Each structure stands twice: as C-alpha cells, then as structure tokens.
Amino acid sequence: MKSDRWPSVPVRRLGTVVGGGTPTADSAHWDGGIPFVTPPDLRPVVGGVVHTTQRTLTAEGVAAGSSIVPEGSVLLSIRAPIGYVARTSSAMAFNQGCRAIVPFGGTSAHYLTYALVAAGAELASLGRGTTFMELSAAQMAALELPVPSLEEQRAIADYLDRETGRIDNLIEEQQRLIEMLRERRAAVVSSAVTPTDSWVCHRIKHIGKTSLGKMLDAGRAVRDGDQPKPYVRAADVRADGSVNLVDLNEMPFSDAEMKVFDLRAGDVLLIEGGATVGRPGFMFEPAPGIAFQKTVNRLRVGPETDARFVYWSMLRLYESAYYANHYGSVSFVHLTGEKLREIELHLPLLDEQRAIATYLDEQTARIDALIAETERFVELARERRSALIAATVTGQIDVREMA
C-alpha cells in the first residue's frame, strides 16, 4: 500500500514480528492467568482491541510452546482466514494461527492496526497454500505500509476510532430495523390468519393430500428406463417462501415416479426435518420435469381450500416455533406425513381465504422490499467504512483539517 504524502515502510522496520504456538494438552499448561489468542478471538474485535480469549495458559504453558507479547502489540491472523487484526489490552500469548508485531518506538500500535485493516485485501492476496491459505512470516514482514509521523499516526487513529464508531452504530441500528421489520412481517401474517369464531377447524388430511419425496438412492443400481432428473430438496425451500428451481441436484427417476413426485402450481412444500423443520415454500408455477426428495413434504390441497392461504397458515405455525415444541424427539424433530396430516388449520370461507392471502402477499411484499433496501444500505455503510480507513491511512484525507 502506497501513499502520496508519506513514505512506505516494510512491516519489519515498524516492529518485531513474533510467531505463535500451542503447548501440549498437559493440564499444567492450561487454564492459567495468561490470555491465549486464536483467530476466532480476533474476529469480533477486528480493527479494535482484544480483551478476552476463550482459553488461557499458565506461564509454564507459554514456556512449553507458545509466545507472549506485551500490551499494545498488534496481532494478525495469518490463516483461516488471513487478515483479522487487533491490538492487545494486556500481555497475551497466541497460537500459530496468529503473528504479532511488537511496535518499535516510532510506531503507534493503534495506527498500525488500522493500516493492516486497510491492507486486508493485499494481505489475503499474498497467502500461499494448497489446502488452506497461509501468510508466511517473510511476506508479512515485507509488506509495505504508509507511515506518517508519530503525531499524525495518533491523530489518524483517533479520527478513525470516532468515524468508524459512528458508522458501526449506524449499521447496528439498521440491523435492528431489519429485525423490527421481520417482527412486523410475522405479526401481520399472524394477525391475518388468526381465526375468528366463524372459521372452521379442519385437519390437513381432510382438506388435501400429503406426500413425502423420493429417497435419495445414489448407491442403488439404476433400473432400466430411469432417467436422471433434477429434484427439489430442503435446501431449495428458501427462507422467503420461494422454491429454487435452478442448478438442482439430480438422481434417477422412472416415468411413473415422475408422475408421483411432480410439482404443480399451488403445491405447498414443507421441510421434513432439521433446524428449519416445518418451514413452508410455495410453488407459484408448475415445474414440469422436476421432482422432489424426501427431505420435503408436498401438501396439495383440494379445490375447496386456497393453497396460498394454507401457505400463510403454515408459515404462522412455523414462526410460532410449533414443531420443535410440539413433537417429541431423541435428537432431531421430523415432520412426518403422519404428523402433518393431523395438524389442525382454521379456515374461513373460500372467498375470505383468497382475500386474506392476497392482502398478505401485498403487505409482505412491501415489507420484504424495505428489508432488501435496508440490507443494501448496510452493505453501502460497510463499503464506506472500508473506504474511509483506506483513504485515511493513505493520506487522501487530511485529519488535521477534520479535527
């Protein structure tokens, strides 16, 4: 990284580069008073200060196979991934996934941290490795960073603390906004499909048919006439209720199976198990030539019921944590066809079902658009944050004028 205003200096001229290590599992080495930094400890404090670590070492442990650096050193992760950087709040040991720079007198650790953040992309590009990327000590030591006077380094670091703090605060509030919008979406759905006294309770087996998809039988011999066909699995039933139909996995299906496991417009798909058990997806269009796999239940309602209304009712059930709390399980909850068929839905008359479904489609579309815009805003704020750091450490912003 170069600056027009200041000389570029290799890292080795700015401080002593120290490699880390991990002592053996001997209990005498661990759980002492010395913080032991690994890359996951740096992740939440990138650009800032690392105060606490998941594990700690004894002095014996440090001596047996690690390294220790004083307060005000800069730690950089050199693999998995490259580029997490933070400075230490006290003397700390660290593992082989990090390397430390103990700054010489003329370098501010605070400034150096920001300069390394700004050099993030360059550092990553220097990584070498076949299985995972790792930054070598030599490359790290040779990395050139722009270095102004110590006084100006301090001014830059203070300025960036203040400005990135503002942006971080803004991002946090935007994320809070997204959470609130999601809460509002769930509340809109829930109140629209909350039954009134005139609604009638039906079990799913009385309003439609359910089927579980085809078992994945990759190891089994293909029967004559089977053709590889794309199929929908749980991962294709997306969080927004749409169903992914492109770049699908394939397995052999017979013609008869393609008829049994078909997907038509109005089918409601329900995830069969796992963390998102019961989450619904909706088929807006038919999907000829595409089948579905047994991680997904298909619910096809009869003509007396509006499928889209059923989708919203199933979403409400999912969002009220119904499945995880309703079915017993040893480890994972499964929504078997048997359980699905017995679920009770409260239904108004068909016209009202349609009206509610349309209302919900419109309302949620507006909220979803707002969420998407807010997410875009967060992206822009993050981009602005990176750009600000880079511009400042390369001297494009004169912080003396900003003070």
Partner 1 sequence: MSNLGSFIWKIADQLRGPYRPNQYGNVILPLTILRRLDCILEPDRETVRKLAAKYDNPNRLRIEVKKATGRPFYNTSNYSFANLLADADGLADNLADYIDRFSPDVDVFEYFDFKKEILALEKAELLREVIRSFKAVDLHPDVVSNADMGDAFEYIIRKFNEAANETSGDHYTPRDAIRLLVDLLFAEKNVDLSEADIVRTLYDPTAGTGGMLALAEEHLLQQNPDAKLRLYGQEYNPQSYAICKSDLLAKGHDATNIAFGNTLTEDAFKGRQFDFCMSNPPYGVDWKQYAKAVTKERDEAGPRGRFAPGLPSTSDGQMLFLLHLAHKMRAPEDGGGRVGIVMNGSPLFNGAAESGPSNIRKWLLENDLIDAIVALPTNMFFNTGIATYIWILDNTKHPDRKGVVQLIDGSSFWIKMRKNLGAKNRELSEKDRDEVVKLYADFTDADPDYSKVLRNDEFGYWTITVERPLLDESGQPVLDRKGKPKPDSKKRDTENVPFTYGGSSAGAAGKAEVIQTYFDAEVKPHVPDAWIDWAKVKTGYEIPFTRHFYKYVPPRPLAAIDADLEKQITKILELLREVEQ
Binding to partner 1 by residue 322, rule CB under 8 A? yes
Number of residues that bind partner 1 (CB under 8 A): 39
- Which C-beta is closer to partner 1: that of 290 or that of 317? 317
Binding to partner 1 by residue 383, rule CB under 8 A? no
Q: Shortest approach of partner 1 to residue 305 CB, angstroms? A: 12
What is d(CA 18, CA 32) in angstroms, rounded to the nearest whole number?
Answer: 22
- Which C-beta is closer to partner 1: that of 354 or that of 384? 384
What is the length of the chain?
A: 403
Q: Is 333 helix (H, G, I), strand (E, B) or coil?
A: coil
Contact 308, 361 (CB under 8 A): yes
- Which C-beta is closer to partner 1: that of 124 or that of 402? 402
Which residue from 256, 288, 331, 373 is in contact with partner 1, where contact means CB under 8 A?
331
Binding mask 268-307 for partner 1 (x = CB under 8 A): ----------------------------------------
Which residues 209-238 are close enough to bind partner 1 by CB under 8 A? none
Which residue from 325, 362, 401, 403 is in contact with partner 1, where contact means CB under 8 A?
325
Q: Is 50 exposed, middle or buried (0-12, 13-18, 19+ CB in 10 A)?
A: buried
Binding to partner 1 by residue 378, rule CB under 8 A? no
In Å, how far are 109, 127, 234 from 123, measured between CA atoms? 18, 7, 38
- Which C-beta is closer to partner 1: that of 162 or that of 238? 162
Nearest Cα neighbor of 48 from 80, 84, 8 is 84
Sign of torsion, CA 65 70 76 81?
Answer: positive
Contact 265, 285 (CB under 8 A): yes
Q: Which residues does residue 334 pair with via DSSP β-bridges, in sequence order?
A: 273
What is d(CA 101, CA 76) in angstroms, rounded to the nearest whole number?
Answer: 8
Which residues 51-80 are close enough to bind partner 1 by CB under 8 A? 55
Peptide bond into 81 cis (omega under 30): yes
Which residues 138-197 are close enough to bind partner 1 by CB under 8 A? 163, 166-167, 169-170, 173-174, 176-177, 180-181, 183-184, 186-188, 190-191, 194
Phi and psi angles of residue 3, each rounded to the nearest 5 degrees, phi first: -130, 145
Binding site for partner 1 (CB under 8 A): 30-31, 55, 163, 166-167, 169-170, 173-174, 176-177, 180-181, 183-184, 186-188, 190-191, 194, 202-203, 205-206, 320, 322, 324-331, 342, 381, 384
